[in-house]
Amino acid sequence: DSGVTQTPKHLITATGQRVTLRCSPRSGDLSVYWYQQSLDQGLQFLIHYYNGEERAKGNILERFSAQQFPDLHSELNLSSLELGDSALYFCASSTHRDSGTAFFGQGTRLTVV
């Protein structure tokens, strides 16, 4: 158990809909990273928050947004969903802002039908 909790574990929704994925980082970790992993693909960096502040953006679509709340949990919002958005979405947390040592949640498997 990494200490990072993601909910829900599975999500099936229709095209055009909006969903929210939730991540609770390890206790004491200030950094939260979000990644997208499509079938048999690597991890694509989406966005990084540190202590409530957005620190870096990757190839994140404009339809996607995220935030980190004062209690340090984070949410990833995906809207106007398309079939191609079907993927595993992972969050990871880290103690520091610029460390590569991160702990991953179990992921949310999103299926858009």
Partner 1 sequence: TQLLEQSPQFLSIQEGENLTVYCNSSSVFSSLQWYRQEPGEGPVLLVTVVTGGEVKKLKRLTFQFGDARKDSSLHITAAQPGDTGLYLCAGPLYNTDKLIFGTGTRLQVFP
**Chain contacts with partner 1 (rule: CB under 8 A):** 2, 4, 33, 35, 42-43, 45, 48, 50, 55-56, 58, 88, 90, 92, 94, 97-107, 109
CB of 33 to partner 1, least distance (A): 6
**Residue number, 14 or 27, with CB nearest to partner 1:** 27
52 vs 79 by CB, closer to partner 1: 52
Question: Least CB distance from residue 60 to partner 1, whole Å?
Answer: 11
The residue (of 15 and 41) whose beta carbon lies closer to partner 1 is 41
Q: Which long-range contacts (CB under 8 A, 24 or more apart) does 48-55 make?
A: 49/74, 50/97, 55/31, 55/97
Neighbours of 14 (CB within 10 A): 8
> Which residue is it, tokens 């106007």?
80
All residues at 6 or more sequence positions from 73 whose CB lies less than 8 Å from its CB, including other chains: 22, 23, 24, 25
Minimum separation from the CB atom of position 91 to partner 1 (A): 9
Q: Output the smallest distance, CB 107 to partner 1, in A.
A: 5
